[in-house]
Chain A
Amino acid sequence: MKKFTGLVSALALTVGFASTAMAETSMGIVVKIGGIPWFNAMEDGIKRRADELGVTAEMIGPVSADPALQVQAIEDLIAKGVDVIGVVPNDEAALEPVLKKARDAGIVVISHEGPGLENVDWNFELASADGFGEAHAELLSQKVPDGGKYAVYVGSLTVPLHNAWADAAIAWMAANRPDLEIVGDRYGVAENVDDSRSTALDLIAANPDLKGFLAFGSQGPIGAGRAVEERRKTGEIHVMGPFSPGQGRQMIHSGVLTGGYMWNPAQAGEVFVTLGNMLANGETVEDGADIPGLGVVHPDAAGHDIITNNLLEINKDTVDELAEKGL
């Protein structure tokens, strides 16, 4: 009997709370996995922006990168009755049914790094494939005023994103710096430090006029940088590409690595909240609108995509701060 009265009072409390808790916008953002530096940084961004805007936002990071856990987390958010659901998908196809459910329930759905998703209001990207490749090519072009040769690495020849970056970079170089010539074709070694290093050593030996490496793939810049250091070519041969700031910190400071670009997960977190709040308040995303964190946008309404170029440069000045965030 005692238990029963307890239950009744709990129910009564439930009803009491439910009527008061609906006022402000609430959001839940489900990321690929919790507890890794990239998404910890994203959570910081989410919290910061939510405080600024006076909304409630929480990030849910599943314990493993299993799409089944993302589906469950989204279902819990629907049950919770949030106004906005954000997601960084592990597997786009597996999320479609549950995201449809969310939209049917009148919830705004936003995704990041999910360009193929159908059941979203908007998907946003902080880096377009072309912009990312071109930015690296431009950096190389600045560092090498005279003609010469350069080599291109990709993580593996079958990684679509890396190849898209490489295509854009090579096209930019062909159009803007005809005096800089590419060595061979691209090399699929950049997922592995040792392969990147030994390939770089071979290329340096074979091409006396080699001026730079564009290494797309997290280990490529590190491996090529080591080869340059071993051959004492620091300053003569420039290495650039996206890499983990923590891993490349020393090499940036010693000048072996010139730098590269990445996008900022904290900024992506902020954009989730900004965009979510806008859409929840009934605003729409128009062409040419200036959205904080994204800049002036040119949305692709048919594909629900907002693609921007908000690149973050990794160089001597920024690397320490980025590395300290654990990125």
Chain B
Amino acid sequence: MTALTKHMARLKSGPAGENTGLLLMLAVLVMAFSLASPRFLTGANLGSMGFQMPLLGLLTLAMLAPIISGGLNLAIVYTANICGLTLAWTLMQFGGAEAGIGAFLLGGALAVIVGVIAGAIMGAVIAYVGAHPILVSLAMMIFLRGLGEFLTRGGDISGFPEYMRVLGHGTVAGVPVPLILFAVIAFGWHVLLRRTPHGFSVYMTGSNLKATEYAGLNAKRTLVLIYALSGLLCAIAGILMAARFNSVRVGHGEAMLLITVLACFLGGIDPFGGHGRVFPVIIALVILQVLSSGLNLIGANQHLATAVWGLFLIAVMVLRSDQLRLLGKLFFRKDN
């Protein structure tokens, strides 16, 4: 084998290696926490983590696709809030806690439409005006936040029908409903990104916008579509949030925005776009959840948990760096 093919082979095995690394990290954490707290590997705790992770997970997936396309969506949390408000408002029109399942379906559909529109507007401005995604989504975030606070005057809408509890707190055969929802959507998202022409365009757009356009792909349409889909996921997250909290207010979940970015990068998404897969991001989410719940179980300070998250991200960056690989090569030259 020539050096070049060897290099190619290593590049190809890259993602698999990434997964092993993350899984190993996860295994170490699970072991450490189960030794530190007898409560860690119990059904109750696993269930609690299963209820907590999907919300962050959905928002992370909503963040993931724009990052792969070379952008960022800072408006995810407020899009979710606005969609939640849409649902809440619809339910209130049909009698609040007495609203039937039809009202919920209508509200959910309206919420999804609002989310898609908010996303599509961002995508269109990014694609056709050529503005930077950070600025566009920041503007959208501020707009949605202001709009929501204007409409609700900073208060909350609460008191939803009883059946919504099932969505937020129910279980099917012991598995939390939100987790099932998340698994289905994550699988769909994976298929969309890896197995469809649209997903291919997203990766290509993220790698090199100009080249993609010259190659005859409609990069602009791809961008509009991916932000619209990101908005769709935000809407689902917003509906889930409403079901879990039985109330909607602008600002619920705002602490999650930066954690979604953290989860994406921990999961090996290229910050400059073009590379990254859904599966490692999900492992990264599980790692973050294990850290957060585990530290809560052993009674550690919450601020320590965030500090540990930060350290983890730095450690992952260092482990992934090319310099370290070169250093490794130097030591294990004979094996090569």
Contact = CB atoms under 8 A, between A and B. Distances in A.
Contact of B156 (A14, A80, A91): A91
Contacts of A18: 38-39, 42
Given A61-B301, A71-B245, A76-B52, 16 more contacts: A6-B31, A10-B31, A15-B38, A34-B303, A62-B255, A63-B305, A67-B249, A69-B255, A79-B49, A80-B296, A81-B44, A91-B156, A91-B249, A94-B158, A95-B245, A97-B246
A270 to B, nearest CB: 19
Interface string A1-35: 00100110011011111100100000000000011
B96 interface: no
Contacts, number: 126
B306 to A, nearest CB: 5
Contacts of A190: none
B83 interface: no
A95 B52 CA distance: 14
A84 interface: no
Interface string A64-75: 101111011101
Interface residues of A, number: 42
Contacts of A61: 301-303
B87 interface: no
B251 A66 contact: yes
A34 B40 CA distance: 23
Interface string B282-304: 00000000001100110101110
Interface residues of B, number: 45
A73 B292 CA distance: 9
B27 interface: yes
Contacts of B301: 34, 61
A78 B39 CA distance: 11
B156 A21 contact: no
A232 interface: no
A113 interface: no
Max chain B CB contacts within 10 Å: which of A21, A62, A93? A93
B297 A80 contact: yes
Contacts of B252: 66-68, 91, 94
A94 B38 contact: no
